[in-house]
Amino acid sequence: MQGQATSSHGAPPTIEAIEMRAGHARRARGERILQSALRKRALGVPTYTVPEAAALLSRSQEYLYRQIKADAFPAIDMAPRRRGHRGDYTVPAKAVEAMLDAATTSGGVVYAAEFGAPGGAA
């Protein structure tokens, strides 16, 4: 059967094999994003992408996008508003660093919304 993916034995791959490959690809992508964020951090680059900020904060990208849209996390919207627009956001590195520093210094919980609110710590 032409066009169908097969295993090394000629049989179509199992669902488990497909899921395993997808899981490896997801982990590899996550690792590349984290390494990119760490390089930017070391170089002092002033912004992160949402995936990079999420990786540094050990959160999912989806969660961070929801927080940004709810004005509970600081970000810059780089695209004009239009219907159905997801948002092309850039996260200020200073905001992420300020949150991490505040949590470390206080030894307690800090709230991201305080850093995104007008007059917040960021």
Q: Is residue 91 part of a domain?
A: yes
Q: Report the domain count for the chain.
A: 1
pLDDT at 90: 94
Element (DSSP H or E) covering residue 47: strand 47-49
119: pLDDT confidence band, cut at 50, 70 and 90? very low
What is the domain extent for residue 52? 15-116
Alpha carbon 20 to chain centroid, angstroms: 22
Q: Is residue 26 part of a domain?
A: yes
pLDDT at 71: 87
Q: Is residue 28 part of a domain?
A: yes
What is the average per-residue pLDDT within 87-98? 90
Strand partners, 118: none
**Nearest Cα to Cα of residue 120 among 61, 74, 88:** 74
Rounded-to-integer distance, Cα 115 and Cα 120, Å: 5
